[in-house]
């Protein structure tokens, strides 16, 4: 089953949920018009990223977190929307990814690996949600730094994911030396996660400078061979890719090798000693 999906490189405005939801609406309409059946938006696409305090984030969310509007958009436009968003629950701030299909929040995930100052602002998730069976295949949710944990990628592969949809904000400053091509280290690690598990990984990154923080952009869809089949290196826009679940469900890489079957789970000891 082949379907077109999109990653949307958006430029969220810090603290302005209505403007950011309008951007999600506009780019979702464009993605749908271009034939995409799913579109992925960046991490914290509804609120922006560089908040100085939990109170400031709470203020931004005081007139709504955008979730109901995005759910409605998924039904109105007829496209699966995956987006990063923020919520505050019982005084705790959460960095989340939601999958919206036909007006419903069908997958909801709280980021489990927090990056740097996020640890001051957000509380990490305590569970991994099930993979969501959608019209484009089985979709798992991850957010940015999560992609750098091979254990999580394996968890999702073993859970049957065809696509890891990953709202992301890759900060500038970790780019590869230029002779490695225009790929930041995080992208190289995601490429390995895709190929060692034979999954697609759809990464939507933000663009634009926010409070002095710059980003590498580099939204992309990586295929099960581990190479980006589409990428958007700079500025706002959409990148499209065809995903074929017949490819992601075939874990064989030679006549006698299978990326999951060849594991030697009896041998690895990976807890702290």
**According to the binding rule CB under 8 A, does residue 148 interact with a second copy?**
yes
Of 246 and 260, the one with the shorter C-beta distance to a second copy is 260
Which has the closest alpha carbon to 81: 16, 163, 8, 12?
8
* Kind plus residue range of the DSSP H or E element containing 153: helix 150-158
User: Residues 6 or more apart from 273 whose CB is under 8 A from it?
Assistant: none
- What does the alpha-carbon distance between residue 9 and residue 206 come to, in Å, rounded to a whole number? 5
Given a contact cutoff of 8 angstroms between Cβ atoms, the answer to whether 209 and 169 are in contact is no
CA dihedral 3, 168, 80, 51 (to 10 degrees): -170
Given a contact cutoff of 8 angstroms between Cβ atoms, the answer to whether 240 and 79 are in contact is no
Residue selected from 191, 204, 205, 232 as contacting a second copy according to rule CB under 8 A: 191
For 252-259, the CB contacts below 8 A with 24+ separation are 253/198, 259/157, 259/196, 259/197, 259/198
> CB of 249: closest distance to a second copy in angstroms?
15
**According to the binding rule CB under 8 A, does residue 107 interact with a second copy?**
no
Of 68 and 124, the one with the shorter C-beta distance to a second copy is 124
- What does the alpha-carbon distance between residue 192 and residue 209 come to, in Å, rounded to a whole number? 28
Of 63 and 261, the one with the shorter C-beta distance to a second copy is 261
**According to the binding rule CB under 8 A, does residue 226 interact with a second copy?**
yes
Residue selected from 15, 185, 208, 237 as contacting a second copy according to rule CB under 8 A: 185
Of 75 and 158, the one with the shorter C-beta distance to a second copy is 158
**According to the binding rule CB under 8 A, does residue 90 interact with a second copy?**
no
> CB of 220: closest distance to a second copy in angstroms?
12
Q: Give the binding site for a second copy (CB under 8 A).
A: 112-113, 115-117, 119, 124, 126-128, 145, 148-155, 158-159, 176-177, 179-181, 183, 185, 188-189, 191-193, 195-196, 225-227, 254-257, 259-260, 262-265, 267-273
């Amino acid at each position: 089953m082949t379907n077109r999906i999109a990653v949307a490189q958006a430029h969220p405005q810090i603290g302005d949920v209505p403007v950011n939801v309008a951007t999600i609406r506009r780019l979702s309409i464009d993605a749908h018009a271009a034939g995409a059946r799913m579109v992925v938006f960046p991490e914290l696409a509804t609120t922006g990223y560089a908040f100085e305090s939990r109170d400031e984030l709470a203020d931004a969310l005081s007139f709504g977190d955008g979730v109901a509007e995005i759910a409605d958009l998924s039904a109105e436009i007829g496209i699966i929307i995956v987006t990063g968003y923020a919520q505050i629950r019982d005084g705790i701030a959460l960095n989340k990814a939601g999958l919206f299909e036909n007006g419903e929040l069908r997958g909801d995930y709280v980021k489990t690996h927090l990056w740097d100052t996020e640890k001051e602002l957000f509380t990490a998730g305590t569970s991994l949600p099930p993979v969501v069976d959608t019209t484009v295949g089985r979709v798992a949710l991850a957010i940015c730094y999560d992609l750098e944990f091979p254990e999580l990628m394996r968890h999702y592969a073993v859970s049957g994911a065809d696509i890891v949809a990953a709202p992301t904000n890759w900060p500038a400053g970790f780019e590869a030396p230029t002779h490695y091509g225009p790929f930041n280290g995080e992208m190289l690690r995601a490429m390995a996660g895709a190929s060692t598990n034979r999954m697609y990984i759809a990464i939507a990154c933000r663009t634009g400078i926010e409070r002095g923080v710059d980003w590498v952009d580099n939204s992309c869809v990586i295929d099960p061979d581990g190479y980006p089949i589409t990428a958007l290196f700079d500025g706002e826009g959409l990148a499209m890719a065809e995903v074929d679940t017949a490819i992601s469900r075939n874990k064989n890489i030679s006549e006698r090798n299978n990326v999951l079957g060849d594991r030697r789970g009896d041998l690895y000891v990976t807890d702290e000693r």
